[in-house]
Structure 1
Amino acid sequence: MDSLFTQNLSDEPDDVPHTQDPVWILGKKYNAIKGRDWLWTPETKDSTYLKILNRFEDRRAAPFSIHQIAVMGASEGKEVGQWFGPNTIAQVLKKLVVYDDWSSITIHVALDNTIIVNDIMRQCKIEGGTTVEVDGKMPLKAPSEWKPLLLIVPLRLGLSEINPVYVNGLKTSFQIEQSLGVIGGKPNLALYFIGCVGDEVIFLDPHTTQRSGSVDQKSEEGEMETDTTYHCRSASRIPITGIDPSVALCFFCATEEDFKSLCKSIQDELINPEKQPLFELCSEKPADWSPVDDYTVEAAGAAASGILEFENLDRQYDASDEEFEFLG
C-alpha cells in the first residue's frame, strides 16, 4: 500500500491505540502495535508516485489542481470559495478524470444508494465482453478489456448524526480489499477516513497551510521539501458516531477480477448480513428507475427517486453539501 503519512521520529505516534483489536486501513488488516508499513519515507522517488503528485500540483495545467477543481465546481453550482461536500467533489472528480489520459481511470458515481453493476461494466469495458449476473449462483462475467475503476457511493446515513443501524456496515466497508476509504468529515471540516479500529475511525486532516511548489523529479532540495507537504505527519481518530452522516464510500478496481471480487464482497459482507444495508447492488436499473438522464440527475443533485423502500426514512441521496468545507 502506498504510504500515507510521514514517520514521526521524535516520539511514538499515537495515530492508533495500543490494542489487540485489528486495525483496518484501506482494506488491509494490521496489528496495532507492530504493523506500520503504511509510513511514507522521504526517499520515495518511484516514477509512478511522482507522476501522481504532478497531477495534483498547485498549477492550473495540473488535471486535479485546486484551480481545476474550483472551476469545475462551478458546473456543479458551487462558486469559487464555496464549500464542497462528498457528493459535489465526487461529481467534480468524475468530470476532471476524463482529461487525465495517463491514468486511464474512469470514475463512476453511484446514484440513489444503488450500484448498477452492468452500467459500470459498460462504462469500464473497452471492447467486447458480456454483462453480469448478481444472483449469487452464476459466476460474474467480465469484459476482455477494462478501464481501472474508481467507484464512489455518496450516502446520507442520518439527519444530524449517523443512524446506529449503519455503523457496522460503515466499519465493514473499510475491511473490503478494494476500499479507498471514505470522503466525509464534521460540519465545516472535511476529513479523509482511511480505516477503523474498534469503534473509532482513523482519518487524515490536511488542513495545514503549505508553501506552493513543484516536486518534478524530486532531484533538488526544494522539490524534496515540497514532497513532504503531500503527507500528514500522523493520523487521528474519532468515534464513528461522531462523523457527519453525509459520506461517500470509495472503492478502486484496477482489473475486472477486482470488480468481480468487490461485487461479491459487497453482497456477502455489506448487504446479506445487514438488516438495513448501506446501499443496494443490482444487475440492471429497476423497471421504475427514473427515465431522466443520469447526468441531469447528478448535475441537479436530485434527491432519492424512491426506487428503494427503507424502514428508516432519515437516509437519502446526499444532495446537501452546505455543512462541509472543501477538501483541498
Structure 2
Amino acid sequence: MDAMFDICYLSADGNNPEPDDIPKTKDYVWVLGKKYSAIQDLDRIRRDITSILWCTYRKGFVSIGDEGLTSDKGWGCMLRCGQMVLGVALIRVHLSSDWVWTPETRDPTYLKIVQRFEERKQAPYSIHQVALMGASEGKEVGQWFGPNTVAQVLKKLVVYDKWSSLAIHVALDNTVVMEDILQQCIVKNDRGDSSSTPDNVVVTDWMPLLLIVPLRLGLSEINPVYIDGLKICFQSPQSIGVIGGKPNQALYLIGCVGDEVIYLDPHTTQRSGFVENKMTDDQKEIDCSYHCKYASRIPILAMDPSVAVCFLCRTRSDFDDLCKTIQQQLMKEAQALFEICEKRPAHWGPNADIDLQNTGLFTEFEDIDRQFDDSDEEFEIL
C-alpha cells in the first residue's frame, strides 16, 4: 500500500517526490491551528497534512445538469475547496483533531466520512449535490463559485445530513453575531426521564459549529494591512483554514509560515470511484486518492483578496475562546478582518438560519425546495 500511495502522489509538477513543501526556517509553521517547528517536526507536519481529506477534480462520474457534465475539471475547484473544509470539520467532530490517516486505515467512521464526498448523487456532499444546490445561489452547474457561494451551499446541505451533527453559520457583512450562533448551536434536550438527572430538568447540548466568514480583503489584490489578521486566524486553535486561492485559481489554504500561506491544490484530475469498505485494491487506491503527501506555498500577498476564513468550535468552550481571540486580538488590529457583536443588528431582520435548521433530515436532492438569490460576486477560476 505504501508503494501505491507513493505512485499516486508526487509533487505539483508531477516529477519530484520530495518538493520544497515546508521551508527550512526558524519561523513556526501553523497548520489548521497547530504550531510546529519547521526543523524538528517536518515528519509530523507532513503526516498531519496527509491526513487531511484532499478533494480534487474528478472525471468519469454520473453526469450532472442539463449539459451532462461527467467531470468538474475547469469549474469545480472552489467546490472542492469547500468539500475539504467540511471534510476537516467532520473528521475533527467524529474522530479527533489528532486523528492520523495511513494507507492502511479502515476505520468505519472515517470511511463513512469519505463516502459523503464521493461522486454519487445520493452522497450528501458530492460534487452533484454541491453543484446543484448552487442553483439556489444563482450559479448554474458548471459555473464558477466564489467563497461565499460555496459557504452558503454547504450551510444548506448540512441541514439534510443529520449524521454529520454539525451546524454551519456564515457570517454576514464581516460581522460575527454571537446571539445568532448561540440560537443555532445550543440544543435543549428534555431528559426528565433520565435516572441521572432530576425530573423535568432540561439539559443543553452544543451542536458543533463550523463558522465561515466571507471577506474581501482588497480590490484586485490583498491589502497588506490584513496580513497580521490573517496570521491570527491561521494560528487560532479553532482554525480549519481559509477558502480562497490565487487570482483565477481556488485553493484550500491550510496554514502559514512566515509571510507565506500553505495550501492544498484541487487542480489534479483523478478518476471517480468508491471506497466502500476498502477491501479491494481498487478501493484502497481510491482512498489514497483522497490524500496528498505534500502541500505547497505562496506569498500571502499573492492570494486573491476574496476569501472565507473557517473555524470549528466543537464545544461551547471552543466558541467562547474563539470570541476572546476575535475581541482581544483581531479587533485590536489597525484594520480588523471582521468584527464580533453580541446582538443581531436590528436592521438585519430575523435570523433565517433557525428556520433552515428545522427543514429535516437529508433527503433526495431533487426534493429540496430551492429559493434563488444571488449572494456572491463571480469568482473566475481557470
Q: Shorter-chain TM-score: what band?
A: 0.7 to 0.9
| 2:245 and 2:303 in contact (8 A); partners too | yes
Give SS of 1:102's match: helix
Deviation at 1:229, TM superposition (A): 1.3
| Distance in 1 of aligned mates of 2:320 and 2:243 | 23
Cα distance, 1:33 vs structure 2 = 1.9
Change (3 A) 1:88 1:101: same
**Alignment correspondent of 2:57:** none
Percent sequence identity over aligned pairs? 62
- 1:215-226 pair list within 5 angstroms: 215-226=275-286
Note the 1:146-165 alignment, pairs <5 A. 146-165=206-225
SS in 2 for 1:168: helix
| Residue identity matched to 2:336 | P
Which structure: greater helix fraction? 2
Question: Which structure 2 residues correspond to residues 48-197 of structure 1 after superposition, within 5 A?
Answer: 48-127=109-188, 144-197=204-257
Structure 2 partner of 1:277? 336
Tell me which amino acid in the other structure corresponds to 2:345: P
1:301 Cα deviation after fit: 4.5
Of residues 211-220 and 63-72 in structure 1, the stretch that sits farther from structure 2 once superposed is 211-220
Closer, same or farther in 2 for the Cα pair 1:98/1:294, shift >3 Å?
closer
Q: Secondary structure at the match of 1:88?
A: helix
Match of 2:296 among 236, 240, 244: 236
| Residue 45 of structure 1: how far off its partner (Å) | 2.0
Q: CA deviation at 1:47?
A: 2.2
TM-score by length of 2: 0.71
Q: How many residues align?
A: 289
| Shift of residue 50, structure 1, vs aligned partner | 1.1
Instruction: State the distance in 2 between where 1:209 and 1:279 align.
Output: 35
When residues 33 and 147 of structure 1 are mapped into structure 2, their CA distance, relative to the original with a 3 A threshold, is same
Shift of 1:8: 6.5
**Structure 1 Cα separation of the partners of residues 378 and 314 of structure 2:** 29
**Partner residue of 1:19?**
25
TM-score, with length taken from structure 1: 0.82
Contact kept, 8 Å, 2:136 with 2:373, in 1: the verdict is no
What secondary structure, in the 3-state scheme, does the structure 2 residue paired with 1:161 have?
coil
Query: Does structure 1 conserve the Cα–Cα contact (< 8 Å) formed by 2:32 and 2:234?
Result: yes
Structure 1 runs not aligned, ≥5 long: 129-142, 303-318
- For 1:241 and 1:212, locate their aligned partners in 2 and report how far apart those are by CA, in whole Å: 35
| Distance (Å, rounded) in 2 between the aligned partners of 1:106 and 1:70 | 20
Cα RMSD after superposing both structures: 2.4
Unaligned stretches of 5+ in structure 2? Answer: 52-101, 190-202, 354-370
Q: Secondary structure at the match of 1:257?
A: helix
For 2:350 and 2:186, how far apart are their aligned partners in 1?
24
SS of alignment partner, residue 63 of structure 1: coil
| Aligned match of 1:140 | none
Residue identity opposite 1:249 in structure 2: V
Contact 1:86–1:321, Cα closer than 8 Å, also in 2: no
Q: Partners in 1 of 2:286 and 2:351 — Cα distance?
A: 43
For the 8 Å contact 1:110–1:116, the answer to whether it is kept is yes
205-214 or 174-183, which moves further after superposition? 205-214
Contact 2:138 2:374 in 1 (8 A): no
The residue type equivalent to 1:29 in the other structure is K
Residue number in structure 1 paired with 2:81: none
**Matching residue of 1:28:** 34
Indicate yes or no: 2:352 matched with 1:291.
no
Aligned partner of 1:246 in structure 2 is 306
Alignment partner of 2:285: what SS?
A: helix
Counterpart of 2:377, as a letter, is S
Q: Is 2:382 the partner of 1:322?
A: no
